[in-house]
Amino acid sequence: MNLRRDVFQAIADPTRRAILMLVTSHAMTAGLIAANFDTARPTVSKHLQILTECELLKQEQNGREIYYHLNPEKMKEVADFIEPFRQMWEDRFSKLETIMKNYKTK
């Protein structure tokens, strides 16, 4: 079975969140990213693979090096994931307000 990768699974891990933070300002190679962590290089590679698979990171070939950079489109999806939860409460509270406004005038 192929495990479906989604952005939320990707950002659930603290190391992966740290990687995303790192590449926010500029694209970096795997080696440079790994140098920022105490974790073993293969572990960092695995994280990079997951982040790439779920499209939060994009690879860019520059000469012999592969650079990783943030995919802002996908990050927007992450920023928005809370919206349906907020909307659920917005709907409830708006209903509450309407009900109680009628209640008041009764």
Partner 1 sequence: MELKTKINAEEGKQFLVITREFDLPLELLFKAHVEPEIVEQWMGTKVLKLENKKHGGWQFETSDNKGNVVFRANGVFHEFIPNQKITRTFEMENAPFGVQLEFVEFEKLTDNTSKVSMLSVYKSVELRDQMLKLPFAQGLNYAHNRLQEIAGKLK
Residues that bind partner 1 (CB under 8 A): 8, 12, 14, 17, 81-97, 99-101, 103-104
CA gap 5, 10 in Å, rounded: 7
CA gap 68, 27 in Å, rounded: 5
Q: Which is nearer to partner 1, 40 or 96 (CB)?
A: 96
Please, what is the minimum distance in Å from the beta carbon of residue 63 to partner 1? Answer: 35
Q: Which is nearer to partner 1, 17 or 27 (CB)?
A: 17
Please, what is the minimum distance in Å from the beta carbon of residue 40 to partner 1? Answer: 23
